Homo-oligomer: A and B are copies of this chain.
């Protein structure tokens, strides 16, 4: 999924979500978009067209295959199905921690949603990994004592954000 470094979301926002929705079973584009709005609409807006574009590029790249399902009185549905490659990619993404605070807000929360939606095991493990990761970052940042007061400001900001994230992760774990 052309990962520049970590996180495919930055570049292909909807790709992994589309894969995940298809992990529950084959479905056509319109239905997937409905699912997307239902399950992710509260944290994520995307136009219908965007969704179709994402699906068709996933098809081109071999993450999906598709079959036309004719209907009476309506345009044929194009039913997508995960290929092995697609399922593998999705599971890899799902179980992989995110490495930035920015990615927490949407990407990590989306992962949690999928664990719940699909009944996939491993949520607790992922949370623990995430806590460990942010814990390490915190240790590093807290060890820095910058002389530059401006940099100190910046450092203090991210320390507080990271602490809030770790606290939240602990709470999520309790609530699992």
Give the complex CA separation of A32 and B43 in angstroms.
39
The closest CB in chain B to the CB of A162 belongs to B164
Give the complex CA separation of A104 and B154 in angstroms.
10
The smallest C-beta distance from A129 to any residue of chain B, in angstroms, reads: 18
Give the complex CA separation of A4 and B35 in angstroms.
29
- Which residue of B109, B157, B160 contacts A109 across the interface (Cβ within 8 Å)? B157
How many residues belonging to A are interface residues under a CB distance threshold of 8 Å? 29
Q: In the complex, which residues 132-164 of chain A have their Cβ closer than 8 Å to any Cβ of chain B?
A: 148-151, 153-154, 156-158, 160-161, 163-164
**Identical chains in the assembly:** 2
A172 within 8 A of B: yes
List of B residues within 8 angstroms of A151 by Cβ: 42
List of B residues within 8 angstroms of A156 by Cβ: 168, 171
- Which residue of B113, B148, B157, B171 contacts A105 across the interface (Cβ within 8 Å)? B157
A116 within 8 A of B: yes
The smallest C-beta distance from A101 to any residue of chain B, in angstroms, reads: 8
* Contacts A/B (CB < 8 Å), 14 sampled: A42-B150, A42-B151, A104-B157, A105-B157, A105-B158, A105-B161, A109-B153, A109-B154, A112-B150, A112-B153, A113-B150, A153-B172, A153-B175, A163-B164
Top 6 A-B pairs, shortest CB-CB distance: A164-B164, A160-B164, A160-B168, A42-B151, A43-B154, A157-B168
A contact residues vs B (CB 8 Å cutoff): 39, 42-43, 102, 104-105, 109, 112-113, 116, 148-151, 153-154, 156-158, 160-161, 163-165, 167-168, 171-172, 175
Given contacts A39-B150, A102-B102, 11 further A-B contacts (CB under 8 A): A42-B148, A42-B150, A42-B154, A105-B158, A105-B161, A109-B154, A116-B150, A153-B175, A160-B167, A161-B165, A163-B164
